[in-house]
Amino acid sequence: MSRTSERVQQRAAWGFLAPALILIGSFFFVPILAGLVMSFTDFDIYSIGRPDTIRFVGLSNYHQVLTSSEFWHAMRNTGFFVGVGGPLSVLTSLVAALLVNSKLARWKSFFRTVYFTPVVTTMVAVAIVWRYLLHTRYGLINAGLGALHLPAVDWLGDPHWAMPAIILLSVWKNFGYNMLIFIAGLQAIPEELYEAAELDGAGSVARFRHVTLPSLAPTFLFVGVMTMIGQFQIFAEPYVMTQGGPLRSTVTVVLLMYEQGFRWWRMGLATSMAFVLFAVTLVATAIQLRLQGGRR
């Protein structure tokens, strides 16, 4: 290719990239850097009107966050949601994928679409629906438990049950997404592997353990990491269903950050919370990569 055409292409490339890069630069990268700076300042409600009063306070916000029992309480709630809801959600997705992808199954695309439907719905709307479904007296879920002769649960009124209730909603809402990814993973397993295992006399359980599960390892890693990163950011579910209650048992880190930042305008403090959560997410991701990646 000639020099001139190379130069023309170079210029065209930057022209095509400009709108996206300007937008991402100014509304994504700049705020992140500004956030990093802000997390070392005492930015609060007075600073909005009088920016000249902002002072650098070093690590004091981080110190305040890391020594605050409220923050660690929110972290525990979030950790419970991630630690229990994550595996439960991945397991549900895997079971759904195995059912839909089974050779015996008919109307596969119908079931796939049905299972996927909750994923596209609006979280706020379905959280409201679930609030009524979980109602102690009039909710369908307790009616279902009653039909099975199980006792009614005060889902959203009992601090021990509120987070499990949110986990139920979140598994229902999201399992279809990972199901699709598992289906893609299952379809990528070469049929010969199963045939060879069958020739070696492996039954269906052995084939699942020694062919399906190992072949899905990369899918498990991807699904596990992406689910966890998303779940650490849980906000709308507790905001709509419980407002963090009862007894603050469903306050998550992002909900606490929202309250501090946008209700009390303690923006320096709230931003440092966001960075602590980011750091925790990175560490948890690294651990998961080590654990799951090392298995292969």
Partner 1 sequence: MRRLVPSLLLHAALVAGAALTLTPLVWMVSASFMPSGAANAVPPPFLPAHVTFRHYIELFTHLNLARTFGNSLFITVTATLASTVINAMAGYAFAKLRFGGRERLFQVLMGALVIPAQVGMMPLFLMVKGIGLVNTPWAVMIPSLASIFGIFLIRQFALAIPDDLLDAARIDGASEFEIFLRIVLPVLAPILVTLATFTFLSTWNDFMWPLIVLSDDAKYTLPVALANLSGEHVQDTELMMAGSVLTVLPVLVLFLAMQRSYIRGVMMGSVKG
Which of positions 19-78 make contact with partner 1 (CB under 8 A)? 19-21, 23-24, 26-32, 34-36, 38, 43, 48
Binding of partner 1 at residue 152 (CB under 8 A)?
Answer: no
Check: CB of residue 81 under 8 Å from CB of residue 166. yes
Among 74, 133, 153, 216, binds partner 1 (CB under 8 A): 133
How far is Cα 228 from Cα 81, in angstroms, rounded to an integer?
A: 10
Greatest extent of the chain over all pairs of C-alpha atoms, in Å? 80
The residue from 45, 59, 91, 105 that contacts partner 1 (CB under 8 A) is 105
Tell me how far, at minimum, the Cβ of 265 lies from partner 1, in Å.
Answer: 9
Nearest CA-CA partner of 91 in 171, 19, 155, 156: 171
Contact range with partner 1 by CB under 8 A, out of 60-68, 122-130, 205-213, 244-252: 122-130
215 near partner 1, judged by CB under 8 A? no
Residues of span 190-209 touching partner 1 by CB under 8 A: none
Is there a contact between 232 and 284 (Cβ–Cβ < 8 Å)? yes
Q: Which residues contact 54 (CB under 8 A, 6 or more apart)?
A: 41, 42, 43, 47
Contact between 272 and 65 (Cβ < 8 Å): yes
Could you say whether residue 275 binds partner 1 (CB under 8 A)? yes
161 binds partner 1 (CB under 8 A): no
- Non-local (6+) Cβ contacts of 155 within 8 A are 134, 135, 136, 139, 141, 142, 161, 162, 164, 165
The reply on whether position 3 binds partner 1 by CB under 8 A is: no
Q: Is 91 in the site for partner 1 (CB under 8 A)?
A: no
What minimum distance in Å lies between the beta carbon of 64 and partner 1?
Answer: 16
138 binds partner 1 (CB under 8 A): yes
Could you identify the residue written with the tokens 């099975």?
A: 148
Regarding 280 and contact with partner 1 (CB under 8 A), the answer is: no
Q: Which of 62, 155, 194, 239 binds partner 1 (CB under 8 A)?
A: 239
Work out whether 102 is an interface residue with partner 1 (CB under 8 A): yes
